[in-house]
């Protein structure tokens, strides 16, 4: 056993027990069974500095200490899952100005379960019928704009529904019929459609059709947590493990109570449901709740300023390389609202391609991941870096750009 580990365990024991030989062996034994941060090493899994962003494939974000503490503490008791969802749903609802809420396993399952709730209500037969809708009388169509019909539509079609893509308000009017279950909007895709949030909502209200908005990656700004509930969307779905730094496998479904009560009947612990596999246990539910509370209280302006400083550090360092390099900091309007650095260069001066540099950063020490690369371009963010890591990223980028020619 490594000395460092022994010291770590000694330091968390009460002072009196350190001198009691009876307790010490137990603690040491534990440390051997659970080697903690050496598990990456044990399995040979590469870790890296994340200058990319909150990507699911990169395990999203890192949880805060408070969240980890909530997970650890909650893991020592049993409770009824439905009791916990009742209580946490009511508390989350207050924070986000909704009637009700539930913790889901990511935004993706919030989309599936929210729609399932709309389709089935509390009808047990309908719940068990999903996703086979023929002959059930369950409404089977979801209308969304073409530009919003992206990979995440799968979350909706999992229920058995079809997507009806539209482009104009007139298309929406024509598409609505007795089979229409819901109108769906993705905030991130706002600029990829002619119809904006308010008009979309007005169309749905006119025909009394439930509406759902996906805001998976849309905090910050923190106000987006309640903005769409205030606007009147019936269901709002968000990821917990992106900027909120909750458990990566958690998310929140919020909105109108009847839909969310029905959504809950479509998932665990109810066995014969399409959502049974979208399980969230108490640890994730408590973790999500704590992450949300902490996120709302956070000093968002200070956090944004910190990110701007980190990006500036990288930008300044990289611009020292000259070689026709340009650096632009862009803050996206929808989704991933964080200072994002776009580097571009003169391919005759920096001879390495963006892909080459991305690979060398990945294979270097420490390993670094960036958001994306093209022939003569790189994109990166800083919000998932730990304090000080931006200096390492800046140094490594500078080295590789200098080398390339």
Query: Does the protein bind ligand PLP through residue 114 (CB under 6 A)?
Result: no
Query: What region does 170 belong to: left with phi over 0, alpha with psi -120 to 50, or beta?
Result: alpha
Alpha-carbon span 9 to 201, nearest angstrom: 56
Pairing assessment for the beta strands 340-344 and 235-239 based on DSSP bridges = unpaired
DSSP state of 123: -
> In whole angstroms, how close is the CB of 175 to ligand PLP at the nearest point?
22
Query: Does the protein bind ligand PLP through residue 106 (CB under 6 A)?
Result: yes
> In whole angstroms, how close is the CB of 54 to ligand PLP at the nearest point?
8
Name the helix (H) or strand (E) containing 327.
Answer: strand 326-330
Which of 51, 89, 93, 152 lies at the binding interface for ligand PLP (CB under 6 A)?
Answer: 152
Residues 240-269 vs ligand PLP: string with x where CB under 6 A? Answer: -----------x------------------
Residues 260, 265, 270, 276, Cα dihedral to 10°: -60
Q: Which residue is nearest to ligand PLP (CB)?
A: 106
Cβ 130 vs Cβ 159: under 8 Å: yes
Backbone phi, psi, residue 90, to 5°: -65, -40
Interface residues for ligand PLP in 211-240 (CB under 6 A)? 214, 216-217, 239
Query: Does the protein bind ligand PLP through residue 56 (CB under 6 A)?
Result: yes
Both tokens of residue 277?
């596999």
221 preceded by a cis bond (ω within 30 of 0): yes
> In whole angstroms, how close is the CB of 8 to ligand PLP at the nearest point?
33
Site size toward ligand PLP (CB under 6 A) is: 12
Q: Which residues sit opposite 13 in a β-bridge?
A: none
Identity of the residue, 56 or 322, whose beta carbon is nearer to ligand PLP in the bound complex: 56
Identity of the residue, 237 or 262, whose beta carbon is nearer to ligand PLP in the bound complex: 237
Query: What region does 325 belong to: left with phi over 0, alpha with psi -120 to 50, or beta?
Result: beta
H helices present in 251-340, as ranges: 257-265, 282-297, 300-319
Alpha-carbon span 308 to 299, nearest angstrom: 15
Alpha-carbon span 316 to 102, nearest angstrom: 44
Q: Which residues sit opposite 100 in a β-bridge?
A: 255
Identity of the residue, 186 or 203, whose beta carbon is nearer to ligand PLP in the bound complex: 186
Which of 70, 71, 92, 107 lies at the binding interface for ligand PLP (CB under 6 A)?
Answer: 107
Which of 9, 108, 185, 286 lies at the binding interface for ligand PLP (CB under 6 A)?
Answer: 108
Interface residues for ligand PLP in 120-139 (CB under 6 A)? none
> In whole angstroms, how close is the CB of 170 to ligand PLP at the nearest point?
26
> In whole angstroms, how close is the CB of 107 to ligand PLP at the nearest point?
3
Alpha-carbon span 362 to 231, nearest angstrom: 43
> In whole angstroms, how close is the CB of 245 to ligand PLP at the nearest point?
12
Identity of the residue, 138 or 292, whose beta carbon is nearer to ligand PLP in the bound complex: 292
Both tokens of residue 335?
């989704």
Query: Does the protein bind ligand PLP through residue 84 (CB under 6 A)?
Result: no
Query: Does the protein bind ligand PLP through residue 142 (CB under 6 A)?
Result: no
> In whole angstroms, how close is the CB of 379 to ligand PLP at the nearest point?
16
Considering only 10-18, 209-217, 342-350, 396-404, which stretch makes contact with ligand PLP by CB under 6 A? Answer: 209-217
Residues that bind ligand PLP (CB under 6 A): 56, 106-108, 152, 186, 188, 214, 216-217, 239, 251
């Amino acid at each position: 056993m490594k000395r460092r580990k022994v010291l770590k365990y000694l330091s968390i024991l009460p002072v009196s027990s350190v001198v009691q030989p009876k307790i010490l062996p137990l603690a040491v034994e534990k440390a051997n069974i659970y080697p903690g941060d050496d598990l990456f090493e044990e399995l040979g899994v590469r870790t890296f500095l994340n200058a990319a962003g909150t990507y699911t494939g990169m395990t999203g974000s890192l949880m805060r200490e408070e969240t980890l503490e909530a997970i650890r503490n909650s893991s020592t008791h049993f409770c009824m899952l439905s009791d916990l969802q009742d209580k946490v749903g009511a508390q989350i609802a207050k924070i986000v100005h909704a009637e009700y809420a539930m913790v889901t396993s990511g935004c993706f399952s919030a989309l599936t379960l929210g729609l399932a709730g709309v389709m089935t209500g509390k009808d047990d037969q309908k719940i068990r019928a999903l996703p086979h809708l023929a002959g059930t009388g369950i409404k089977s169509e979801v209308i969304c704009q073409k530009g919003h019909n992206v990979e995440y539509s799968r979350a909706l079609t999992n229920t058995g529904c079809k997507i009806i893509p539209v482009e104009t308000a007139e298309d929406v009017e024509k598409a609505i019929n007795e089979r229409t279950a819901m109108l769906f909007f993705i905030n991130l895709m706002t600029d990829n459609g002619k119809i904006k949030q308010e008009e979309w909502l007005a169309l749905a209200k006119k025909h009394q059709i439930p509406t759902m908005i996906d805001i998976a990656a849309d905090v910050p700004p923190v106000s987006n947590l309640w903005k769409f509930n205030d606007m009147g969307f019936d269901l709002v779905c968000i990821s917990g493990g992106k900027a909120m730094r909750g458990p990566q496998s958690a998310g929140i479904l919020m909105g109108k109570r009847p839909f969310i009560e029905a959504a809950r009947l479509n998932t665990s612990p109810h066995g014969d449901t399409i959502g049974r596999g979208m399980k969230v246990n108490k640890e994730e539910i408590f973790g999500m709740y704590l992450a949300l509370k902490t996120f709302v209280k956070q000093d968002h302006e200070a956090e944004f300023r910190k990110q701007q400083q980190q990006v500036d550090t990288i930008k300044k360092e990289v611009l020292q390389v000259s070689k026709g390099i340009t650096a632009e900091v862009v803050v996206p309007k929808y989704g991933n609202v964080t200072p994002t650095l776009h580097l571009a260069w003169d391919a005759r001066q920096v001879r390495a391609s963006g892909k080459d540099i991305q690979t060398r950063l990945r294979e270097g020490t420490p390993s670094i991941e960036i958001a994306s690369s093209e022939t003569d371009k790189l994109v990166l963010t800083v919000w998932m870096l730990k304090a000080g890591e931006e200096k390492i990223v800046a140094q490594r980028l500078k080295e590789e750009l200098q080398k390339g020619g």
